[in-house]
């Protein structure tokens, strides 16, 4: 399948997933992340704000606050994405595509935190950690410039395919968590 077909197939599969199933699978994924050395040792966590039917990271957001970690979430500015520190959901506003983004007038840009653990979303993945995103290229462009982040991607098992087409500029995460497993490079 090409990227367009993968996005359509994943959307079809997401429609079959109930909100309760997504919540339960998300909890298992977040539970795995919380036990990793990468999370435990991280002082700062860069994470996305979930859309419905995506892996829900609210529990990770809340736990990171309780664990005393700095949290940063992305904000799209033109063709670029920047990460801003947030202290609570009160620092967020509805932005591009209805996604919650930080209010830049109330939040500090944290792009210089290269050591921050980054949690990446995606539409489709394969066992070689190939990643197909939503088509904007924001994470690929960001990680091309900010290449020192430890990275983890999260997905439901139905988002894993035998093969996804990737190009030279497509960034692969270092780890991929589903509700059933952690996929590491081979």
The CA distance from 104 to 96, in Å, is 14
Overall domain count for the chain: 1
Provide the mean pLDDT of the chain. 92
The CA distance from 125 to 47, in Å, is 18
Q: What is the pLDDT of residue 135?
A: 81
146, two tokens: 């900010």
Give the domain range for residue 102: 3-183
Q: What is the pLDDT of residue 133?
A: 87
Query: Has this prediction a pTM greater than 0.75?
Result: yes
Rounded to the nearest 10 degrees, the angle between the axes of helix 19-34 and helix 58-66 is: 30
Q: What is the pLDDT of residue 123?
A: 94
Q: What is the pLDDT of residue 25?
A: 96
Q: What is the pLDDT of residue 186?
A: 63
The CA distance from 85 to 57, in Å, is 16
Residue 80 is inside which H or E element, if any? strand 80-86
User: Could you tell me the CATH number of the domain that includes residue 114?
Assistant: 3.40.50.10420
Percentage above 70 pLDDT, the chain: 99
114, two tokens: 């290269």
The CA distance from 10 to 6, in Å, is 6
The CA distances from residue 70 to 89, 112, 167, in Å, are: 13, 13, 33
């Amino acid at each position: 399948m090409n990227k367009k077909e993968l996005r359509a197939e994943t959307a079809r599969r997401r429609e079959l997933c109930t909100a309760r199933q997504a919540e339960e699978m998300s909890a298992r994924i977040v539970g795995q992340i919380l036990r990793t050395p990468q999370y435990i040792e991280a002082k700062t966590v860069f994470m996305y704000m979930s859309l419905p039917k995506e892996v829900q990271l609210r529990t990770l957001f809340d736990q990171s606050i309780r664990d005393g970690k700095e949290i940063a979430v992305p904000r799209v500015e033109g063709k670029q994405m920047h990460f801003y520190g947030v202290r609570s959901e009160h620092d967020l506003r509805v932005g591009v595509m209805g996604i919650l983004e930080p209010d830049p007038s109330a939040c500090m840009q944290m792009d210089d935190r290269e050591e921050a653990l980054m949690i990446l979303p995606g539409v489709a993945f394969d066992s070689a950690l190939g990643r197909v995103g939503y088509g904007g290229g924001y994470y690929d462009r960001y990680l091309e410039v900010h290449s020192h982040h430890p990275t983890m991607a999260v997905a439901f098992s139905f988002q894993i395919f035998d093969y996804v087409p990737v190009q030279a500029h497509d960034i692969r995460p270092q780890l991929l968590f589903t509700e059933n497993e952690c996929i590491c490079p081979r």
